[in-house]
Each structure stands twice: as C-alpha cells, then as structure tokens.
Structure 1
Amino acid sequence: MDQLLQSAGVSGRAAVLDGGLGQLLADERPDLAAADGLWVAGMAARAPAAIQAVHRRYLDAGADIIMTATYQSSVDGYIAAGLAADEHEAAALFEAALRAAVNARRDYLAAAGDTRRPLIAVSLGSIGATLGDGSEYTGDFGGGMTAADIKSFHLRRFRTIAACLESPALHGQIDLLALETIPSLVEVEAVVAALGEAAQAGVRLPPAWVALTAASESQMPGGGTVEAAASAAASSPHVCAVGINCVPVDLVPALAACVQRATSKPLVCYPNGQAWLGSADQWKNRDKQTPLEEFAACARHWIHAGAAVVGGCCRTGPEHIQALAEMVRDADAQPRPAHK
C-alpha cells in the first residue's frame, strides 16, 4: 500500500479518498435514478458522462483516490435490470464504468499540472449490495445462501473485472480493488477465499482493501466481531489494507481500534456524513449532516491514530473531500509511520 501511495505522490502523509457517488447524483440528477436495484451502477450504465463529471469534481477537490461507479455491479444484476442481454454485454458495462474514472483522471492530469497521480480503485460492494434489498447493512442475504455461494459470487465478479483490465483502454490504469461495506465475518472469509482462488487460477487483479461495516463499536451486523473480521481480511496476501466504511462518524474511533488490534496493515476510514436511520426521507434533513469542519476534525484524529486513507461514504460530497484535503495538507497532519 505504501508503494501505491508513493506512486500517487502522497508518500509520508495520509491519502484522501473520494466521497459518495450515488446519493450525490440522486440529489442532483433525480432523472438518472431508476428502481432497478443498481443505484449508482445503473446510473453509470445509463449516463457514464455524468459519472465521469463527478469523478472529476472529486479530483478537483483534492482526492488522491477515486472509486469507480461499480459498487452494485454484477453480471446477473445488469441482465436482470435489462441493461445487458448476456455476460458479454454486462462486462462491457463494467468496462465503461471503469473507463469513466480513467478518463476523469486523464483529463484532470492534463488540466491540473499536478505532481500527484491519483489512484483508481474498483468499488465492489457486498453481495447484499447487488440484491437491491439493503442486505449489505444486515448480512441477511436470504435463506439458503451458503458461504460457498458468496465465494462463487465474488470469484465470478473478480474474473469479470480481470478480463476488463486486459482491454487496451484499461491495461495498467486501475490500481486497487475496494471490497466495501462487508457486513459479516462469513462474507469476509468468502472474499478472502475468492481472492486466493482467483490468484491460484492465474487471474490477475490489483491489490485489494477490505472495508467492514458495523452495527456497534465492535460487532458486525451479520455476525462476528469487527476484530475477527479484520484479522481474517488481513490474513490474505492479496489484501493490502483493512478499513471501515458506511458507519456513523462517532463509531470510527472504536472501530479503528478494533481493526488495529487485529492487523498492522494500513487502516482505511470512510464513514457516512449523516447517520442512517432506516428511511430515505431522513436523508433529506440536511440539518442532521455532520458539519464539514467537524468531519475534517474527526478525520485528523483518525490520521493521528494511524489511518493511511481517509474519505467519505454516504452523504458526503466534494465539499467534504475538499475539507479533508485541506486538513491533510496542513502542517499539523504528521507523517505516517511506514506500513507493511
């Protein structure tokens, strides 16, 4: 991970990750939303130029890492939504979403004259994120789904991504995989098993981070402790960092401590900018959002506690990332110790 950050021009300090994509676009472009369960992945399929524009906004705000609009993406999901007729067309949609991020970085570098080369991570949510029922927040994926089923799902998606990365437009352009919002120890173990099986089969993938979500200061919503899940994730040689995402800001210190007790691998922290109370209408109450100054001040503490990457998840936007970037580049953001 340190080598990647060094290649991005952010060696010696924490890297700034981007913020949310789906909710930002849903707020600004409600015409792009559709009831297909694909959320931002569907938006990327219908309007890749809009996704590319959001990536560029995050880069202009100071993001060192941007994540692709593929969080809910899966072959079966694209087909079920009527966006693809078969696996080949579904893979083309994956590739188009990745190209949106690559093109945004290309245009940013051409215009900015920056010494940084921001990184691109392929966002891959829990299997629950592709079911369209919110089960990535509970770990309840429906009766009859086994650990083997979950592993098979992730392995198939890894193979699709690897095939996309062999295309001339993407070869050498993607730096990381971001396995996100993983709600249970069982799924973490399935992800680790899938990464290992993919590597053994010669499937070429970038290094991955695994980001966990939580129901409390120590427990996963779908079963298992955060510490045990972090240990399981870190056991994989294909995992370069372990983190937490899609949780309230006030849970981050305790959850970060759980992760750090489990592993010395770099820590990634990107919580929500507003607490989720289970209602879409609740998101509309902007008074409940964490103020920008408070969000940046909290992130300063995460960095001083050892976080290598800080950013935002739901209900964070370019203004949050700009606040983080300004804080990180301030003189009081101390250099980080070296990580494995």
Structure 2
Amino acid sequence: MATTALAPLLAAAGAAGRAAVLDGGLGQLLADESPGLAAPDGLWAAGVAVRSPAAVRAAHRRFLDAGADIITTATYQASAEGYIAAGLAPDERGAEALLAAALAIAVDARADFAAAGAGRRPLVAASLGSIGATLGNCSEYTGRYGHGVAAADIRAFHLRRFRMLARCLEQPRLRGQIDLVAVETIPSLAEAAAVVSALDELHRSGARLPPAWVSLTAAAEDRVPTGEPVEDVVRVAAGSPHVCAVGVNCVPLGIAAGLLARVRRATALPVVCCPNGQAWAGSAGGWRDEAARTPPGAFAAAEWVAGGAAVVGGCCRAGPEHIGALARAVRGAG
C-alpha cells in the first residue's frame, strides 16, 4: 500500500528517524541564474531540460550537494500538449521521449553524486504540476481555468500524463530509477479529486507508478485558492491508496506553519511542507518585493518538523542555500 511506502523510501535515502530534505525551486533557479535559457514556450524548466540538459543536471547536483534527500525532475510543466505546442515534439511519441530524457537528467545527477562518494542514495521524484501550470497563465494559483475546461477535462489531462509517465518508467534506462511522483501546486478540491481519480484509474488499468504525493497551494491558512477549506481538499487528496503523502508547496512562508497544522489534522499520511523563498503575487504577476527574499536561516525547519512534516523543502526562490540551511537544521536536530 502506498500509505506505508514513504517511510522505507526515506530510510533508504538515509533519512530514517528524521524529516527528509527536499530540493528547492528548480525552475526559478534556472530562470534567475540562466535567463538566456528561458523561452516563451510555457514549459519553464521542462523546456530548459530540452535545450540545455547540462544546466539542469548541474542545478540538480547543487541541490544534492546542499544536502537534499530528494530531488524533483524538470518536468513540472511537461505534457504532450505542451511539448507539441512549443514545437519541440512532432507528436505524443516524441513528447514521451522528451519526458523520459528530462527524468533521466535527474537520475544521472544522482549517479554523479553517488560516484563522488556521497555515501547515500537520494530519491528522485517525478514532478508534475497542476493543469494550470501547463496553460501558461498562472491559473494554478487561482484554479480558474476558463469555461472551456471542465472537471472531466482535468481528469483526462492527468490520466494522459500519468500514462505517459508510466510508459517512460518502463524504459530500461529508467526502470526502478524514479522513486516518487510529486503532483504539485493543486489549487482546488475539483483538481485534487481529478488527480486521485486518475491515479486510481491508471492502476486499475494495470499500469504502475511509484507512490505519489499531492501538494496543495494556498494564499491563506484556511482555504485553497478556489475557496474550499484546506482540510476538505486534503481529505480528498488522501483518499487514494496510491497517495503516500499530502502537503503544501508554493505558499507564502508566513502561512506555512498554519497550513501544515491544518493538513496534519486532516490526514494521518506523512506531510510535505515546501514554501516559497519570496512572496509571489500569483496571477497579478511577478514578485511582491524583489528586495525581500527570505534569508536561508529563516526557513523554519525545526518548526515544520515539530508540526509533523515528514518532508521539508522549498519552492520558488528557495535555492541551494535555503536547502543547505534546512539540511543542517534537520540533521542537527536529529
């Protein structure tokens, strides 16, 4: 059962007896430090993985060197529709090859890390964002995808992408190499329901994915962007036997602890906590204060772990220095 799958995975990564440290905002790190790699194709890090795999591999390695027990792949905004629309793939088969290649970048970065004598084997999580993350309009922060996107469309989108991911993981190069699936930045109860329904359908069909976690986004402690109580969305997300953890990501640092408490009350599953390193204005566009990046030491690892988080990390503008501070705090406490 996936509900018991996270503990042995974390133990295998060397995080037994303490919280595991996740990486930070991969896409934003690449955008900030290598703006020339960006393209207006709506693919963010997934596009960079096609154009400059070496840059993505180096970014993964920086998070590993900082102390991450888990790294997420540069596939958050990847989809067959997105790759094709960007002109990077001619069809779904070509898109699948690009997804597999992006997954392999993280696998190879982990192999580099192990070859350097690290003495531990971090986990690799395949990152998949909300359907809004693939629309290029910041609607993952609102849950309002437009009148042309119904609940059935959201479910169908996730099911197609889960199936594509499952096919990738059957390739010899990737078989047994991806440990988790991170379904991230879910803004509504409707999309949480679509995700777990798609996961369940995938497994009923005989396809298989590693254990998945589902993380929500929110701008307030008590409600997701579409207005439903956080607890209600958590209960829906935790309702699949293929979900091994529930949490929050891409949330303001100041509400992370309060959100964590609500998630913890709503589920017995392990909890993931990954706030931003700077306040994001969401659909209004941009960062609220370019000068107000959170100092690495302000990432409250002890508070989040005391609040029940099993996995702590960062999202946008949480860089390797933030993850290093988290790793030192978590391991020092341990």
Choose from 131, 135, 144 the match for 1:131.
Answer: 135
1:93 corresponding residue in structure 2: 98
Matched, 1:4 2:4: no
Alpha-carbon contact 2:213-2:246 (below 8 Å) kept = yes
Alpha-carbon contact 1:68-1:123 (below 8 Å) kept = yes
Identity of aligned residues (%): 63
Matched, 1:273 2:284: no
Matched, 1:171 2:190: no
1:301 corresponding residue in structure 2: 303
Rounded to whole Å, the distance in 2 between the matches of 1:184 and 1:81 is 27
User: Is the alpha carbon distance of 1:73 and 1:283 closer, same or farther for their aligned partners in structure 2, counting shifts above 3 Å?
Assistant: farther
DSSP 3-state at the match of 1:188? helix
Q: How far off its partner does 1:42 sit?
A: 0.8
Rounded to whole Å, the distance in 2 between the matches of 1:184 and 1:300 is 29
1:16 corresponding residue in structure 2: 21
Matched, 1:229 2:233: yes
1:58 corresponding residue in structure 2: 63
DSSP 3-state at the match of 1:209? strand
1:188 corresponding residue in structure 2: 192
Rounded to whole Å, the distance in 2 between the matches of 1:190 and 1:282 is 30
Rounded to whole Å, the distance in 1 between the matches of 2:296 and 2:102 is 29
Rounded to whole Å, the distance in 1 between the matches of 2:326 and 2:118 is 21
Choose from 32, 36, 41 the match for 1:31.
Answer: 36
1:336 corresponding residue in structure 2: none
1:271-321 CA distances to partner (integer Å, 9 max, x unpaired)? Answer: 000011246653772x301111111xx121010111100000001111111
Rounded to whole Å, the distance in 1 between the matches of 2:241 and 2:179 is 16
Rounded to whole Å, the distance in 2 between the matches of 1:75 and 1:302 is 36
Alpha-carbon contact 1:5-1:11 (below 8 Å) kept = yes
Matched, 1:41 2:46: yes
Alpha-carbon contact 1:9-1:117 (below 8 Å) kept = yes
Rounded to whole Å, the distance in 1 between the matches of 2:57 and 2:15 is 23
Report the TM-score when normalising by structure 2: 0.96
Rounded to whole Å, the distance in 2 between the matches of 1:188 and 1:203 is 20
Rounded to whole Å, the distance in 1 between the matches of 2:143 and 2:32 is 27
Alpha-carbon contact 2:114-2:121 (below 8 Å) kept = yes
Structure 2 unmatched ranges of 5 or more: 1-5
Rounded to whole Å, the distance in 2 between the matches of 1:227 and 1:50 is 38
Alpha-carbon contact 1:183-1:221 (below 8 Å) kept = yes
Q: How far off its partner does 1:16 sit?
A: 0.3
Alpha-carbon contact 2:279-2:287 (below 8 Å) kept = no
Rounded to whole Å, the distance in 1 between the matches of 2:220 and 2:248 is 12
Choose from 150, 154, 157 the match for 2:161.
Answer: 157
Q: How far off its partner does 1:249 sit?
A: 0.8
Alpha-carbon contact 1:196-1:236 (below 8 Å) kept = yes
Rounded to whole Å, the distance in 2 between the matches of 1:51 and 1:280 is 25
Q: How far off its partner does 1:144 sit?
A: 2.8
2:3 corresponding residue in structure 1: none
**Correspondence list, 1:78-89, <5 A:** 78-89=83-94
1:259 corresponding residue in structure 2: 263
1:313 corresponding residue in structure 2: 315
1:242 corresponding residue in structure 2: 246
Structure 1 unmatched ranges of 5 or more: 334-340
What's the Cα RMSD here? 1.2
Rounded to whole Å, the distance in 2 between the matches of 1:282 and 1:201 is 43
DSSP 3-state at the match of 1:221? coil
Q: Which deviates more from structure 2 when the two are superposed, residues 266-275 or residues 220-229? A: 220-229
**Correspondence list, 1:199-238, <5 A:** 199-238=203-242
Report the TM-score when normalising by structure 1: 0.94
Choose from 97, 102, 111 the match for 1:106.
Answer: 111
Rounded to whole Å, the distance in 1 between the matches of 2:315 and 2:74 is 13
DSSP 3-state at the match of 1:264? coil
User: Is the alpha carbon distance of 1:29 and 1:46 closer, same or farther for their aligned partners in structure 2, counting shifts above 3 Å?
Assistant: same
Rounded to whole Å, the distance in 2 between the matches of 1:281 and 1:189 is 29
Q: How far off its partner does 1:222 sit?
A: 2.2
Alpha-carbon contact 1:139-1:223 (below 8 Å) kept = no
Report the residue type matching 1:41 in the other structure: A
